[in-house]
Each structure stands twice: as C-alpha cells, then as structure tokens.
Amino acid sequence: MSKERVLITGAAGFLGSHLCERFLKEGYHVIGMDNLITGDLRNLAHLNGKENFTFLHHDVTNFTHVSGRLDHILHFASPASPIDYLRIPIQTLKVGSIGIHRLLGLAKDKGARITIASTSEVYGDPEVHPQTEEYWGSVNPVGPRGVYDEAKRFQEAITTAYHTYHGVETRIARIFNTYGPRMRLNDGRALPAFIGQSLRGENITVFGDGSQTRSFCYVDELIEGIYKLHFSEETRPVNLGNPVEITILDFAKEVLKLTGANVKIVHKDLPTDDPNKRRPDITRAKEVLNWAPTIDRAEGLKRTFEYFRALSKEDLHKNEHKDFAAYIKK
C-alpha cells in the first residue's frame, strides 16, 4: 500500500519545517510548498534527498494543484510577525483569503483533511482573560495589525463554511506565542530580538513599560498539539499554547540572565494595537487531545539560545532578514 501523502504550505518557515519533520518521522510522503517570501530553504536543507520529501516552490494564492493522491493538507503559509505583515499587508491578506480558498477547493477535490494555522491574534487585544475558544475577540480591522488578525479570522470563517456546506474535514488550530530553533532572528518578535541583541552586545529593547504579558510554548510541544488535533475528530477551534504567563519585562530579564550579556534593558514606545495580555485557556486541548505543554520555559530558552548562538557571524549581524521588493506589485 502506498504511503499517505500530506501537503504542508509554508514548509520553509518556522512551524512548517518542523511539521515536515514530524510527518516524515511518522511515515508520510511530505510535499512541502512555499513561495519563500518569508521562508528560508535552509530550514529544509536537512530534508533534501529524503525519498519521501518533495519541495514545490509555489505561491498558494495562485492556482494550486497537486497531482495524484493527497490525503492531508496543513495550511501554514503566512507572514507571521509584525515586521512582515506591516511591510507586506496585501500579501498577508491574500494568503489568508485567496490562499485558503485555493486549498479548501483542493481538499474538497481530493477528499483530504485540512488543518489551518489560525492564531491567538483572532482575539485581538482581549477583554477576556485567559482567552477561551468561545471568546469572539476585540480586533481593530483597520489598524496596522488588522491585516493579519482579519486574514486569520476570515480563514476560520471560510474553513468552517467548507466544513458545514461541503463536508470537508477541517481542523482549526489557534496558535499562541511559540518559540524554538529556526525562528527568524530579525522578525521583530520578542524572543529572537532579545537573544539577538544580547549576542550582538546591544541593549535589549522592551516596548512600553514591559507590563504586557505573553505565554510562550516550545515548538516541539506545539507541533505535537497540531499533530494530535489534525488526527482528532474536533472540528471546533482549539487553543494551542502554554498557559504560563509572563510580562515582557520579566521575560527580557530571563533572557539577559541566560545569555550573561553585559547590556541594559531600554524602553521604546509601544506599537499601535499591541495586545496588553495574552494567555490561552487550553481546557479544550486537554480534554479533547489529551495535550498540554510540559517543557518549562527555562529549558526551552536554553535550547533556543544554543540554536541562535550557533549562527554564523554574518547571520547574527544581518539588519534585514528579507527583501520583499520582488513580491510587492505596484
């Protein structure tokens, strides 16, 4: 019997590359797809030449077809950091609307089960804490972050519609802050920014007074949660994240202690619509998936620091991670 085949979009990204590894480990034939707007082929270099791995350089907002059998789709293609979606807002909206429409049509045609990467950003700047799946959110649709938040909210809506009206097998993962190896160093998110600044001997930048909170989940555990969700019977959205909450200022202090860097913490103005708090209620994930994170932040940070410390001096000192000029059509 031939191996089941899985399509993973955003395969050259942070989460996508880890998903490729997991499905290969489980014996699937993996088709990784990415247009490389934010992804990096180096994240997949160790998979090159593997018999059951194929890479397709393709933009899912264009017509998307995979020949032959296709059993599973995981849609993880999207810019995911504020620096990215503030610079390529239209591309961010398109991959969460046109892109998911293409893939839902493909899933319907192939009879494949599809899991989408949604986000805690659908909750916006939440007025309910911690956030449960029943909370509808508090999002500014025309704010600078709205392009990402609303793309993901639409993605959930059209995915649910395809499940309801076409009977497509769908799963929705609402992913909270995740960290670990293969994060982009200069994508603007707190953890890589703090570690990168420490390694370069720069002061650590905290936006606002640092009282805003986040909850950080180590990537290996998040991948386990996504894998369990995909093969579960749960069609409702499921929060996946670590419910242990910390202020950004305290988080910066933890990173500083870990790296031992002789630098200071400096404060800058808080970006527009930056959420004040973020913490998942993972009751549903515990009950339905029997899933909960177990790796504590100290251990996860240590593993992540080792990854960044091994980067070349050139990569460590890059000011710009990506040049989006070729992707912006005027």
Measured CA to CA, the distance from residue 118 to residue 97 in angstroms comes to: 12
Other CB atoms within 10 Å distance of the CB of residue 209: 11
| Residue 280 near residue 131, CB atoms below 8 Å | yes
Give the DSSP per-residue string, 12-76. TSHHHHHHHHHHHHTT-EEEEEE--SS--GGGGGGGTT-TTEEEEE--TTS-----S---EEEE-
What is the distance of C-alpha 84 from the center of its chain?
13
C-alpha count within 13 angstroms, C-beta hemisphere, residue 115: 27
Element housing 249 (H / E): helix 248-259
Residues annotated as part of the active site: 148
